[in-house]
Amino acid sequence: MVTPISPPQQSDAQLSWYPVSEDIKRLLLSVSEHWHTPEIADRYMQQAIALAGDRPDVLVSAYRYFFYTHNNQLALQVAQKVLALVQKSEDLPTEWVQLKPILSDRD
């Protein structure tokens, strides 16, 4: 029987971060450390989302976490929040007929 190799423990100094507070960094690192224990990792991710507010970088991290842990309901909620933030910040129309030419022009 082959013994699985566990990934090395990483400190935040070894990782590349976008500019977020140390609290959020610690929470996201805790999510990765407890990846295989969703009842723990989910709480850390919810705390990171609450602290980050509307930070798209943290929300995209949350989306990826929920997507890869097969929590489709929360992944969808976070994705919809990110889409709404982008729509607002870019002042994009909600109707596809109006939106399609705008997106097509943005190569």
Return the structure tokens found at 3. Answer: 């013994």
Q: φ and ψ at 34, to 5 degrees?
A: -110, 25
CATH number of 20-105: 1.25.40
d(CA 58, CA 66) in angstroms, rounded, equals 12
d(CA 17, CA 25) in angstroms, rounded, equals 8
Q: pLDDT for 17-44, tens place per residue?
A: 678 888 999 999 999 999 999 999 999 9
Return the structure tokens found at 82. Answer: 């990110």
Return the structure tokens found at 14. Answer: 């070894």
Q: pLDDT for 51-84, tens place per residue?
A: 998 999 999 999 999 999 999 999 999 999 999 9
Residue 34 near residue 44 (C-beta atoms within 8 A): yes
